[in-house]
Amino acid sequence: MSNLLVIIQAPSNAPMLRLAKGALEAEAARRGLSLIIKADADADPAAVWKSSSESVNAVLLSAIKAPAQPVSTSVPVIATELARVARETGHVLDQLFPDNVPAPAASQSASPKEAAESTESKFLVGVTSCPTGIAHTFMAAESLLRGAKALGYTMKVETRGSVGAKNELTEEEIAKADAVVVAADASVETARFAGKRLLETGTKAAINDASGLIKEALALEPSAAQSGGMKMPPKKARTGVYKHLMTGVSQMLPLVTAGGLLIALAFAIGGIYAGDNEGTLGWALMQIGGASAFALFIPVLAGFIAFSIADRPGLAPGLIGGMLASQIGAGFLGGLAAGFFAGYLTSLLNRKINLPDTLQGLKPVLILPLLSSLIVGLSMIYVIGPPVKFILDGLSTWLNGMQEGSALILGLLLGGMMAFDMGGPVNKSAYTFSVGLLASQIYVPMAAVMAAGMVPPLACALAANIFRNKFTDDERQASKATAILGISFITEGAIPYAAADPIRVIPCTILGSAVTGGISMVMGCKLMVPHGGVFVLAIPNAITQGLAYIAAIIIGTLVATAALYFAKRPLNQMNKAVAA
């Protein structure tokens, strides 16, 4: 029996390490190899091998980034990255043991039909969705397609972005799929995947390790189906409050964007008092943008938060609670409270109310909406609404009357949050806070947040072109696309750079974004729309203090770029450190 020594440099809790070890153990058992695996987060694989006393026939050295390939070895040695070990285990061992290549798994006695099925069944489906439906949705889809191809699978991914569902899955495609991967940060209906292997995760996990997620999905057991042909969706843990909030935000954003731009156009056409001159075009635009779109966004936010928690029965009480929050002056804080209260209340009533089978159909269309709407409505008017209105009024007064010192601190905080996780919960918290204030006609935080969100991709793109010896060829080639994402206010464009070197890149971008947010707040820049990047500058009155706003973005980008120069090491030094 041949002996294989595997030395891996990776943290013991790294998901890729677990995948690689599992793949190696399975492949070694199939080939009849004796496997020795040593894993250490700090030790250099080559040094561990040189000090080892094991008598082996081949050696595999691996780390997150490929170690240096040893020369003049007495036994076959391969040094490669850990992702390749997990993804291409068989191919790696073929190189180490060319005389021990296993025969195909299908037996010679297999029928032609069985052989055909074994080669044609490698098909996967997936769904991706993020709160804004702009960046993470499509980055996750692309990563899943690459991961499936690397594993020898064909895959179709449905993207549920800001323009609706694209590349929609058919019943036939779902039926023939070996597994389903739903990578979403907002609620996605999964009932159609009942009876399939289903893995639910977030978009960031799919972007970072698509191959690992696909392997995990393929290892799951198919979900059970109810008797009588009615299939239940797989029971997977939800991501809780954050996911419900992001579902509401994703449905609300188009209303805020359209309403804000229409209000800005009304000001451009009819002046600051456009809404007072009834019958004019400016007045009409204010009716569409302010009196309609902006009036709807809090009810929609609350309604879809409740929908995410309690499904369709939660939508009506959520919408009603959100509308009441708007009418009594509780604003977006009241909308948040109404949405979560309506959702969890409806879910509770659904579990507690038991009816005969003949009356079950009344629950979702009559009993639950009626009871939930009644309780939520009365609570918003008499219990929840008044104190929330008091809190919102106090917040509005403080924000409108901020002095330079407090404005700077808030700007630094919001700006830093935008770069902290580049589209994650912290980023979305700052963004949601600023968007919600638009309903109260507080526009300064929104400007700071959008300006700060542009800095990370712009700084990474600029640094990759100026300090070329500190970035890989792939990073330099991607810099043009990253810069476009940056000026479009898609902070996620910096994720590949942050993922490759998080300890150095993330603090630098936080510094630059915080500077930008602070300058924007101190200068009193106001932004009336929640998205669009620098392109909103072309719309009259969409932003005030335009020159100061541009200056804030440029200064923050330069600060982050300079920080990257001092923090990032040249690639040749990094390679020497790995090989030492």
Q: Answer whether 173's CB lies under 8 Å from 116's CB.
A: no
DSSP string, 140-191: HHHHHHHHHHHTT-EEEEEEEETTEEESPPPHHHHHH-SEEEEEESS----G
Q: Answer whether 2's CB lies under 8 Å from 33's CB.
A: yes
The single residue of 130, 460, 508, 525 carrying the catalytic annotation is 130
Crossing angle of helices 331-352 and 385-400, rounded to 10°: 150
Q: Answer whether 564's CB lies under 8 Å from 505's CB.
A: yes
Q: Answer whether 518's CB lies under 8 Å from 412's CB.
A: yes
- Tokens in use for 475? 């990073």
Any idea of the CA torsion for 408, 413, 417, 418, to the nearest 10 degrees? -10
- Count other C-beta atoms under 10 Å from residue 103's C-beta: 7
What is the rounded CA–CA span in Å between residue 113 and residue 107?
13
Give the strand order in the sheet containing 198-201.
164-166, 154-161, 123-129, 179-184, 198-201
Question: Is 130 assigned a catalytic role?
Answer: yes
Q: Answer whether 322's CB lies under 8 Å from 281's CB.
A: no
For residue 577, the one-letter residue type is: A
DSSP-assigned letter for residue 276: G
Which are the contacts of 182, defined by CB distance < 8 A and separation ≥ 6? 126, 127, 128, 188, 190, 193, 198, 199, 200, 201
Residues noted as catalytic = 130
